[in-house]
């Protein structure tokens, strides 16, 4: 199964402090759940009066809670350390002059 890197990057970029993105292994889908959606799925609160899109998200959140083994959490944007990545790359350069530069 192939998934575009841009989809993963967008999912990471859309995360907030109140949400988390996951990759669903069985379908190749990337999903984002807010803390409120997870709480609604856990509490089994009555959502019959909610919008259809919200009902769908809560159902997906319930599936997530029942099948967490099928989901891989995506890193947050705060998990990336660009400077460290650049340092590691520079160390792989064969030319000493390029490394120093």
Query: Given the structure tokens 């990336």, which residue do they identify?
Result: 80
The pTM (predicted TM-score) of the whole model is 0.72
Beta carbons of 9 and 30 less than 8 angstroms apart: no
- The 10 Å CB-count burial string (b at 16+, else e) for 61-77 is bbebeeeeeebeebeee
Note the pLDDT tens digit of each residue in 52-90: 999 999 999 999 999 999 999 999 877 777 788 788 888
Tell me the per-residue pLDDT of 8-55, one tens digit each, with 9 for 90 and over: 889 999 999 999 999 999 999 999 999 999 999 999 788 889 899 999
Phi, psi of 47 (to 5 degrees): -115, 15
Q: What is the pLDDT of residue 95?
A: 80
pLDDT score recorded for residue 90: 84
Q: Report phi then psi at 5, rounded to 5.
A: -60, -30
């Amino acid at each position: 199964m192939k998934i575009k890197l841009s989809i993963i990057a967008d999912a990471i970029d859309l995360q907030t402090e109140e949400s988390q993105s996951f990759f669903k292994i069985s379908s190749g889908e990337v999903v984002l759940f807010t803390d409120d959606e997870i709480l609604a799925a856990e509490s089994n609160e009555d959502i019959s009066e909610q919008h259809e899109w919200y009902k769908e998200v809560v159902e997906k959140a319930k599936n997530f809670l029942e099948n967490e083994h099928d989901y891989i959490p995506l890193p947050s944007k705060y998990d990336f350390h660009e400077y460290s990545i650049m340092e590691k790359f520079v160390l792989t350069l064969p030319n000493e002059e390029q490394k120093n530069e």
